[in-house]
Amino acid sequence: MTSALAPEGDKGEPRSQGLVPRHVAVVMDGNGRWARARYMPRFFGHKAGVDALVRAVNLFADRGVEYLSVFAFSSENWKRPSEEVSGLMSLVLVAVSKYLGKLAKDGVRIRIVGDRSAVSDKLREAWEQAEALTRENTRITLAVAFNYGGRWDMVQAARRAVAEGLAPEQIDETWLSRHMALAFAPDPDLFIRTGGEMRISNFMLWQSAYAEFYFTDCLWPDFGAEEIDRALAAFAQRDRRFGMIRPPVVQAAE
């Protein structure tokens, strides 16, 4: 049976004005290539990626971002070599043990989104501990998508509609949005992908309808303050219309 976080709180709307996005989504790509360039096993790239994430959370928070959602492990990543998958699972446990205290002290609220049924009891317990310890933090919310896929998210919401016996006319965009795995957060304003690829890879398909996209060749372990500022500067230059058109400027008659 699949599971998703229950919706809670005021979801709000994407921020249409202002220089700083309220919610940033990130596909953290390039860990393997980062390690390969240094003649190291891929695992060391993933480890460096965790370190980069901890740095990035605080950098985004310092700049006024309220929500940071990251794609840590997709539902398709199970197809990778078993040794790599096993290493990633172990790395998550190590990362929680190593960084949970720091993140909690830094005011980070942690949420885990995705299908938890396929992971070990030990990993689920670590996630529950992280969420419980940081529940009251308000500086920034870090949503870690693990065993997550955008299509899975829409399917699990649709299944909830069926389970609740809703009639077709009762199901609309608002209902579905409130039953997505990230219903606790506003839709992302800015969607970043590192590593040079220009695709979203099944991440937050529903929520990213009006997000601004930013692609960079920078590999995730190298994604630091300079790259973050560059992405935020690019976002500040975007003209967000949400499907509308901007009225023409009428010159005053002389």
Catalytic sites, residue numbers: 29, 77
How does DSSP classify residue 94?
A: H
Contact yes or no for 215/41 (Cβ under 8 A): no
- φ, ψ for residue 39, nearest 5 deg: 60, 40
Contact yes or no for 45/35 (Cβ under 8 A): yes
d(CA 184, CA 179): 9
Q: Name the one residue in this structure whose structure tokens are 């997709």.
A: 74
Beta strands in 64-173 (DSSP E): 67-74, 108-113, 140-148
User: How big is the chain, counted in residues?
Assistant: 254
d(CA 218, CA 208): 22
Q: What DSSP assignment string belongs to 207-246?
A: TTTTPEEEE-SS-GGG--HHHHHHHHHHHHT----TT--P
d(CA 104, CA 136): 9
**Residue (of 146, 109, 121) closest to 4 by Cα position:** 146
